[in-house]
Amino acid sequence: MDPALRVVMYHYVRDLPNTPFPSIKGMLTGEFIQQVRSLKERYEMATMESALAFLNGGYKPSRDLCLLTFDDGLKEHWAECTPVLAEQKIQGLFFLITGCMEDHCVAPVHMNHFLMASLDFNEYKGAFLRRLREMSPEASAAMDKVDLADAVRRYRWDTPEIAAFKSFFNFQLDANLRDRVVRRMFVEYLGDEASFSKDLYASWEEARQMRAAGMMLGGHSHQHKPLSGVSEQELDGDLKNCRRLLDAHLTPQPVWPFCYPYGKKDSYTGHAVGLLRDLEFACAFSTESGDNRPGAPLYSITRVDCKLALQ
């Protein structure tokens, strides 16, 4: 069979037992180091440039390509992953949430992860729904109407109960209302958002160091909202802000990739793809699963979760 491009996606990569949140779902740093070695043996490690040339039909490698991608601009991508990749002369692609870096906020999806890692799930869910009910009784009643099969498909690593709550939280609930509830809980349980943000995300200076070490940076939106879930006006502002800040803080790159927040097919629209083209993002990565072959659409590149990278 002709060679394919496998794009591996990473989120949290940390020495979990020695962090304040050992139950965060992520890959251990040691596992990551092992995996990179194994991938390097099995694949030709791609760069953004060689992957694009392959997809455009201009580069024909003798074996499968593998490209490593990292979502959310987390501090450990600078501290833990970049040194490993730089040492192996592998280029990683790192997708930054520009609003989190610029305004020192924490994306609600991450607030949710850390609240869930700090509280017993039932305690968290109860506290969340109680606060939500106070603000909007109709919104809290919608929790009973979550499509469970859909939730389990989206969150295959979670129990059905947690998957249903995440689905409700990330997709069904009005984003502004949700953010108000979760922000209030976050400050109550985990303290100051700005200082947490500075620990969680790489700074602009760290991102520049990653680039200097041979890594490639990309956009992951400004606010990390599902692009299909905001008005066209808000979407336009969000993507322009993202692009402007990347240009303002980072050195020029031959190409700028983008990665969709959440990333399933229904989390972005044709309109969003048009805006990304206008803003000269060269391609965009989804979280739909699978390998890519020449001719594959450049604005819906599929990826494989790091837990399945070697399967």
Which residues contact Zn ion (rule: CB under 5 A)?
Answer: 71-72, 261
Q: How far is CA 160 from CA 50, 145, 165, in A?
A: 39, 14, 9
Choice between 81 and 139, CB closer to Zn ion: 81
Task: Using CB positions, name the residue nearest to Zn ion.
Answer: 71
Q: Shortest gap between Cβ of 274 and Zn ion (angstroms)?
A: 21
Instruction: Return the bridge partners of 68, or none.
Output: 8, 92
Q: Shortest gap between Cβ of 100 and Zn ion (angstroms)?
A: 10
Q: Shortest gap between Cβ of 78 and Zn ion (angstroms)?
A: 16
CA distance 151 to 55: 31
Choice between 3 and 219, CB closer to Zn ion: 219
Q: Shortest gap between Cβ of 261 and Zn ion (angstroms)?
A: 5
Residue 124 tokens read as: 């968290």
Residue 221 tokens read as: 């939106």
Choice between 219 and 261, CB closer to Zn ion: 261
Q: Shortest gap between Cβ of 20 and Zn ion (angstroms)?
A: 21
Residue 267 tokens read as: 């989390």
Specify whether the CB–CB gap between 93 and 257 falls below 8 A: yes
Residue 125 tokens read as: 């869910």
Specify whether the CB–CB gap between 46 and 67 falls below 8 A: yes
